[in-house]
Amino acid sequence: MSGGKVTDWASKDGEFRRQTSSFRETVSKDHSIFRPEVGRYHLYVSLACPWAHRTLIVRKLKGLEEVLPVHVVGWYMGPNGWDFETERGSTGDAIYQSPFLRNLYFRADPNYNMRFTVPVLWDVKHHTIVNNESAEIIRTLNYELNDLIKDPKKKELDLYPKDLRSEIDRWNDYFYETLNNGVYKSGFATKAEAYEKNVKIVFEALGKLEDLLKKTGGPYVLGDRLTETDIRLYTTVVRFDPVYVQHFKCNIGTIRHDYPHINKWLRNLYWRHPAFFETTDFDHIKWHYTRSHTQINPLSITPLGPLPPIEPL
Ligand SMILES: N[C@@H](CCC(=O)N[C@@H](CS)C(=O)NCC(=O)O)C(=O)O
């Protein structure tokens, strides 16, 4: 969420509340409309957005680059929402040449009256949105396009294995509330009480994650297997020191100085896994937050640090 008036996202108690996504279909062999096909589905993403970032990581991990083309919006989110301004890092919308992401939402539903969010999983055949909820899109990419994947290792990769499902679900729910969305609840709070309540929850969650990594011994959150939980946590944690510490006032500590196990896990994912490294764009990330949220940073000056944005291995 970004842009608009302060009151657009805060309620009377000063708390930020994220809207519920509206397009909730899946692609599947058994679906009456949305069946798997190479090139039929496209992803619309922002490189700045942690929710969209999840889908880019899974697309690469699963070797879906040729199956599922991507369109990237520019890093700036203004009063009309995300746009396809190439001067601000967008690839442009190669299908419809839309100026704004909102044009796609209206193409899918002329009466759409909610926020125009990324990521969007788009069906080129029916010119509509299949799904705009990242948690569900990554599940779809994990299984439903497997028959189209050439590399056997990537096809086999399962980020939501049966024996770990209840643990993954439990951690996903907890970290969604406290950390993934928690940083937004801290940063978008419009009253000190709301900010103070939520920033403490963010740091409690970081403490839990630090303990969990210590307990499992890594290299991944749940031990020796990379799961959805790593992906969902990575896209928040990699933005933490560069953006959330100062921009969202999450400054009770930093990953690099106060959470050695999280820092090690983060650096390992970034430096050793191309799917994480190649999808992380610190320019889009820093410019988006610091220059789009003018109610938080009215002069749109982007802080230079921390340098480097992520520590070496
Ligand atoms: N529940 C959605 C949330 C997506 C979301 O809030 N995306 C933000 C960018 S980080 C967005 O596009 N906001 C546009 C707006 O609020 O107008 C998901 O996880 O897919």
Q: What is the pLDDT of residues 11-47, one digit of tens each?
A: 778 888 877 778 999 999 999 999 999 999 999 999 9
- Nearest ligand 1 atom, CA 9: 16
Q: Is 250 among the residues known to form the active site?
A: no
Q: In angstroms, how far apart are the furthest CA atoms of the chain?
A: 52
pLDDT tens string, the chain, 313 residues long: the values are 433 333 445 577 888 887 777 899 999 999 999 999 999 999 999 999 999 999 999 999 999 999 999 999 999 999 999 999 999 999 999 999 999 999 999 999 999 999 999 999 999 999 999 999 999 999 999 999 999 999 999 999 999 999 999 999 999 999 999 999 999 999 999 999 999 999 999 999 999 999 999 999 999 999 999 999 999 999 999 999 999 999 999 999 999 999 999 999 999 999 999 999 999 999 999 999 999 999 999 999 999 999 999 999 9
Of 37, 61, 34, nearest in space to 273 by CA: 61
Cα angle value 223/228/230 (rounded, 5°): 55
Q: What is the pLDDT of residue 10?
A: 58
> Reduced to 3 DSSP states, what percent helix, strand and coil does the chain have, rounded to the nearest 5?
45, 10, 45
Q: Are 74 and 3 in contact (CB under 8 A)?
A: no
Q: What is the pLDDT of residue 21?
A: 78
- Which long-range contacts (C-beta less than 8 Å, at least 24 apart) are formed by 168-175? 168/222, 168/227, 168/228, 168/229, 171/212, 171/221, 171/222, 171/229, 172/135, 172/228, 172/229, 172/232, 174/205, 174/208, 175/205, 175/209, 175/229, 175/232, 175/233, 175/236
From the centroid of its chain, how far is CA 126? Answer: 26
| CB proximity list for 104: less than 8 A, separation 6 or greater | 44, 93, 96, 98, 120, 122, 129
| Distance, CA of 211 to CA of 275 (rounded, Å) | 26
Alpha-carbon dihedral angle through residues 186, 48, 111, 7, given to the nearest 10 degrees: 30
- Nearest ligand 1 atom, CA 118: 12
Pocket probe for ligand 1: among 6, 44, 49, the residue whose CB has the most ligand atoms within 8 Å is 49
User: 19 alpha carbon to ligand 1 midpoint, in Å?
Assistant: 9
Q: Are strands 70-72 and 41-45 parallel, antiparallel or unpaired?
A: parallel
Residue closest via CA to ligand 1's atom 16 equals 1
- Our separate counts of H helices and E strands in the chain read 13, 6
- Tokens 């970032």 locate to 53
**Domains in the chain, ordered, with CATH?**
6-156 (3.40.30.10), 163-292 (1.20.1050.10)
Neighbours of 110 (CB within 10 A): 7
Of 129, 130, 127, 159, nearest in space to 143 by CA: 159
User: 116 alpha carbon to ligand 1 midpoint, in Å?
Assistant: 7
Residue closest via CA to ligand 1's atom 5 equals 117
> Exposed (0-12), middle (13-18) or buried (19+): which is 132, by Cβ within 10 Å?
buried
| Distance, CA of 185 to CA of 217 (rounded, Å) | 30
Residue closest via CA to ligand 1's atom 13 equals 1
